[in-house]
Amino acid sequence: MGNLRTLLRLAWRDAWRRPLQSLFFVIGVSIGVAMIIAIDLANSSANRAFTISTDAVVGKATHQIVGGPNGVDESVYVQIRRELGYRDSAPIVEGYVRVKTLNGQPMRLLGVDSFAERPFREELGTAKIAGLNQRSFSAFMAEPNTVLIGANVSDEYRLPIGESLEIQVGSYHHKLRIVDVIASENRRIRRSLKDLLVTDIATAQEIFAKIGKLDRIDLILPDAPLHTTALEHIESMLPPGARIESSDARHGAVIEMTKAFRLNLTALSLLALVVGMFLIYNTVSFSVIQRRAVIGRLRAIGMARGEIFAMILAQATVLGIAGALLGIGLGIFLSRSAIGMVTTSINDLFFVSNVREIDVSALTLLKGGLLGIAAAMTGALIPAYEATRVSPVGTLQRSTIETRTRGSLHRISIAGVAALLLGAGTLLPDWHLGLTFLGVLAVLVGMALLTPSLMRGFAALAATHWLRRKIPILGNMAVRDIDRTLSRTSTAVAALMIAVSVIVGVSVMVGSFRMTVERWLTDLLGADIFVSPPAVANSQMTEKLDPDAVKLFETFPGIARVATARSVEIDSKDIGRITLSAITRDIAGEKRHYKSAVGNHAETWDAFRSGGLIVNEPLANRYKRSLGDTITLLTDRGEVPFTIVGVVYDFDVRPGAMMYDAVYRNYWDDPHLSSAALFVQPGVDVDEKIGSLKSVFGGNLELVIRSNRALRADALAVFDRTFSIFIALQMLAAVVAFIGVLSALMSLQLERTREIGTLRSLGITRGQLARLTLLETGLMGVIAGLIAMPTGLVLAAILIYIINLRSFGWTLQMQLQPSQFTLAFVVALVSALLAGIYPAWRMGQMQPAEALRTE
């Protein structure tokens, strides 16, 4: 114990003696930890918000009977309850609505049968509906368009009983009168009530145009051994198109959808800590070099190698803990921005999610903190080992370490090649996505290990071919200085190289992705005008388009033809839930690019009209389906296999398929439409026509009427929003790399204090020293930029051809733009030059005599 205290005291004093270096260490760890925590909190808060909201409305239901796009017929419920005698059953009609009165926020509207609710959602208060005061209860039961809201919502928006809420579902607006408020002692329930409106089931059926239909029937089935019998019993009486499934499985599948998205974010959030480890290595290494005399004395008075090792690790741990604590605070702060970005993406891409609170989980904080401390200790391992090699007379010299580093260069390079091969071996087979990210890490580590050799090569080339001609004296000195301190300069260059290569990789990937999507949209959006009802979120395109509007489009002056689509969520026995679009014509026409198809465009379209299914690439890739395979869909006629006749490029994150409209109507009893695409007659001005359409519908029916140009711009805006968080994460990693270079340069400058004194005593001016420093850092930046370009390109290829394909099933075409590489090179050079300014200034400020006195 005494020993530990001594070790910690020594560690702490050393950290305190070099406050700036210690500060850099702490900042490096804290940014890394903050990024991990911010993303983890954002991910888990989004999940938890969805789970809390879902748990509240699922209540104690063990199973649900669900149907097709139009749900289950009410008669099924009657049959289950009356004929089969399952009293623990409750009908539900639900959906998302936009509440105009509450600043347009999306809320879940739950339609319940108050008499059936008791066993299911007691905590939610729906079971207490019967216990409402007589007047409220009568109003809720007897009056249409009445609603219960959470007491917290009522308080927050000052909406007392009797006030009305204006809600919007698709194009339609409704007014609901508040007849009572629901209060709960349970915190989770209170949270779920913030996003929940409860109405009588008849009101919900009317609002969602589902008269006579139910979205699901909740059931509480008995435990084993009666469970199986009950399941079979119910299954046997279900009509075609309906099926029973466990509540957990259904909602787990929704969360599962976002898994790849979350994993990509998590992987990128780890980047700063990886870059930070280079900074930690440098700082601890510097500390060991500076303290070699002290370490030698400690060895001389009897301290064992193990204790020296522990002392260095203790120092890293102390600073790591400080960094982790700071990072935890910063992470919680940053998570407020991250949650907004993550929620927007989830709403744009996956499902409606309304995340209002950050769930600060102790586990997340602990995990992030421990990762930071572990990174600090790992980064300190090699320098700590070096410290154990200090002899009792303190003879470990900087030059000894450098000589050793140069001597080990071939081994370091071999390790680099081995890491690259390991990366390739992990990346090429289609293993778990987590292993794929480990492969990416191996590639980055491999390139980092090759950096010292490459750096020597580049520096020698620069010295021979350029610097010698342009700036022979300073150039030569700069190259030699970099080479002389290779163990340190190469670590700083490697950190900068990794950060810049990630900038190159991500920007090439995002640029390629954007360009691919833009071209795809240009080809796909063949119609001139697109009409759809307003959606609660970009991911919700299943709202219903008024049939009268469609009729009007068909006869509207200047409109040549109309194509319609019905988008629905369909359950598939073998794939899960897919987005099915029933279309009357292919708006892309001849421009439709099939990844694979049964024939040319006309032949494929014929096969499609005959009942074939065209699936999107995410479905084909993720579920390993190709031409000729079948997908079994749950139709209103029962489970029907459909043959795949084409695979199209698509950049939805969800598995999707297209079906000919007539085929769809044949299998599903669904009269609705979701959107329409209008082709204007030749010579008709599209914007003018949009203006006329809006004036016709304005006031009567709310519709989103956009030109294909506007729709493309909106789609690209969603794209840019989605990637904004990735860009933010890579920038933070670049900040850590910058601090790494600054820290390394400052260390080098401090080590060279006497050398600077000598140079000044020989008449070298401050300006010349500053130029020397900036030349050195500039050269380091140039080398980092040069190595980062091929590394970034490899990273981009991995992201495009492996990560994206495995995460989301997208095929992207790599598009290289010189500006991406130029920018990355400039970032490397400017970062290095900026990092050199302060050390250069400090060098100039030092009195030569003072510098010469420094030990």
Partner 1 sequence: MATSHHTSLKVSEVHKSFGSETRSVEVLRGVSFEMTQGQQLALTGPSGSGKSTLLHLIGTLDTPSVGTIEINGENPSEFPEPRLARFRNQVIGFVFQDHHLLPQYSVLENVLIPTLAFKRRDAEIEVRARALLEGVGLSHRLSHRPAALSGGECQRVAVARALINRPSLLLCDEPTGNLDRSTADTVASLLFELHQAEQNILIVVTHNLELAARFERRFELVNGRVEGQAGQV
Q: Which stretch binds partner 1 (CB under 8 A): 97-105, 474-482, 504-512, 804-812?
A: 474-482
Q: Is the peptide bond before 839 cis (omega within 30 degrees of 0)?
A: no
Tokens describing residue 10: 């020594």
Rounded CA separation 124/127 (Å):
7
CA-nearest of 337, 230, 324, 283 to 14 is 283
Q: Which of 761, 813, 817, 854 is the binder for partner 1 (CB under 8 A)?
A: 761
The structure tokens 């905590």 sit at: 123
> How far from 818 is each of 724, 788, 796, CA to CA, in Å?
22, 14, 14
Q: Which of 84, 764, 830, 834 binds partner 1 (CB under 8 A)?
A: 764
Residues forming beta bridges with residue 6, ordered by sequence position: none
Q: Is 393 in the site for partner 1 (CB under 8 A)?
A: no
Asked if residue 404 binds partner 1 (CB under 8 A), the reply is no
CB 576, CB 253: distance < 8 Å: yes
8 or 764, CB closer to partner 1?
764
Among positions 767, 817, 826, 841, the unique one binding partner 1 when judged by CB under 8 A: 767
Q: Which stretch binds partner 1 (CB under 8 A): 127-135, 593-601, 630-638, 846-854?
A: 846-854
For partner 1, the closer CB: 226 or 473: 473
The helix/strand/coil state of 704 is strand
Collect all residues with Cβ–Cβ distance below 8 Å to 592 and sequence separation of at least 6: 523, 524, 586, 601, 648
- Binding flag, residue 480, partner 1 (CB under 8 A): yes
For residue 77 the two structure tokens come to 């419920």
CA distance 412 to 414: 5
In the complex, the smallest distance separating the C-beta of residue 460 from partner 1, rounded to whole angstroms, is 14
Q: Does the protein bind partner 1 through residue 406 (CB under 8 A)? A: no
Instruction: Give 26 or 477: the residue with its C-beta nearer to partner 1.
Output: 477
C-alpha R_g of the chain? 33
Three-state DSSP class for residue 184:
coil
Residue 460 touches partner 1, criterion: CB under 8 A = no
For residues 460 and 662, which CB has a smaller minimum distance to partner 1 in the complex? Answer: 460
Pairing of strands 164-169, 89-99: antiparallel
From 221, 759, 788, 803, residue interacting with partner 1 (rule: CB under 8 A): 759
Question: Least distance in Å: CB of 489 to partner 1?
Answer: 12
How far apart, in whole angstroms, are the C-alpha atoms of residue 522 and residue 514? 12
What does the per-residue mask of binding to partner 1 show for 794-833, with x meaning CB under 8 A? ----------------------------------------
754 binding partner 1? (CB under 8 A): yes
CB of 841 to partner 1, least distance (A): 13
Q: Does 293 interact with partner 1 (rule: CB under 8 A)?
A: no
Given the rule CB under 8 A, which of 61-69, 251-259, 728-736, 761-769 is the region that contacts partner 1? 761-769
Closer to partner 1 by Cβ: residue 609 or 853? 853
CB nearer to partner 1: pick between 479 and 690: 479
Using the contact rule CB under 8 A, the part of the chain among 206-214, 779-787, 793-801, 841-849 near partner 1 is: 841-849
Q: Which two tokens stand for residue 625?
A: 């389906």
| CB hemisphere CA count around 342 (13 angstroms) | 31
How far are the Cα atoms of 95, 234, 333 from residue 242, in angstroms, in the given order?
A: 19, 11, 46
One of 190, 484, 595, 706 touching partner 1 (CB under 8 A): 484
Q: Which of 101, 768, 811, 815 binds partner 1 (CB under 8 A)?
A: 768
Minimum separation from the CB atom of position 476 to partner 1 (A):
8
> Biggest alpha carbon distance in the chain?
105
Closest approach of partner 1 to the CB of residue 413, in Å: 22
* Contact criterion met (CB below 8 Å) for 49 and 355: yes
**Does residue number 561 form part of the binding site for partner 1 (CB under 8 A)?**
no
| Site residues (CB under 8 A) for partner 1, limited to 38-77 | none
When asked if residue 473 is in the footprint of partner 1 (CB under 8 A), the reply is yes
Binding segment for partner 1 among 476-484, 559-567, 609-617, 677-685 (CB under 8 A)?
A: 476-484
Name the E strands within 463-558: 529-532
Q: Is 391 in the site for partner 1 (CB under 8 A)?
A: no
- Work out whether 410 is an interface residue with partner 1 (CB under 8 A): no
Told to check if 399 binds partner 1 by CB under 8 A, we report yes
Q: What is the DSSP letter of 128?
A: G
Q: Does 850 bind partner 1 (CB under 8 A)?
A: yes
Nearer CB in complex with partner 1: 305/754: 754
At residue 538, what are phi and psi to the nearest 5 degrees? Answer: -60, -25
Nearest to 681 by CA among 548, 522, 521, 529: 529
Is the CB of 37 or the CB of 846 nearer to partner 1?
846
Site string for partner 1, 123-162 (x = CB under 8 A): ----------------------------------------
Is 306 an interacting residue with respect to partner 1 (CB under 8 A)?
A: no
C-alpha triplet 801, 805, 808: angle, nearest 5°: 150
Q: Is residue 79 near partner 1 by the rule CB under 8 A?
A: no
List of residues 6+ apart from 545 with CB closer than 8 A: 170, 171, 531, 532, 533, 564, 672, 673, 674, 675, 676, 703
Identify the residue among 760, 777, 780, 808 touching partner 1 (CB under 8 A).
760
Helix axis angle for 753-761 and 766-798, nearest 10°, is: 140
Window of 217-225, 690-698, 699-707, 755-763 that interacts with partner 1 by CB under 8 A: 755-763
Residue 587 phi/psi, 5° resolution?
A: -70, -20
Q: Are 214 and 69 in contact (CB under 8 A)?
A: no
Interaction between residue 183 and partner 1 (CB under 8 A)? no
Kindly indicate which of the ranges 35-43, 321-329, 738-746, 760-768 contains the residues binding partner 1, using the contact rule CB under 8 A. Answer: 760-768
Binding test (CB under 8 A) with partner 1, winner from 14, 88, 481, 636: 481
| Residues 6 or more apart in contact with residue 256 via CB below 8 angstroms | none
Q: Does 475 bind partner 1 (CB under 8 A)?
A: no
Q: How many residues interact with partner 1 (rule CB under 8 A)? A: 26
Residue with tokens 């919700």: 540
Candidate list 206, 606, 670, 755; residue touching partner 1; CB under 8 A: 755
- For residue 833, the minimal CB distance to partner 1 (Å) is 22
Name beta bridge partners: 699.
none
DSSP string, 356-425: -S----HHHHHHHHHHHHHHHHHHHHHHHHHHHT--TT----HHHHHHHHHHTHHHHHHHHHHHHHHHHH
- Please tell me the distance from the alpha carbon of residue 91 to that of residue 216, in angstroms, as a whole number: 6
The β-bridge partners of 181 are 149
Residue of 134, 225, 762, 855 interacting with partner 1 (CB under 8 A) = 762
| 3 binds partner 1, rule: CB under 8 A | no
Which residues make beta-bridge pairs with 106?
A: 98
Residue closer to partner 1 by CB (options 696, 764) is 764
Per CB under 8 A, residues contacting partner 1 are: 399, 473, 477, 480-481, 483-484, 754-755, 757-768, 847-850, 852
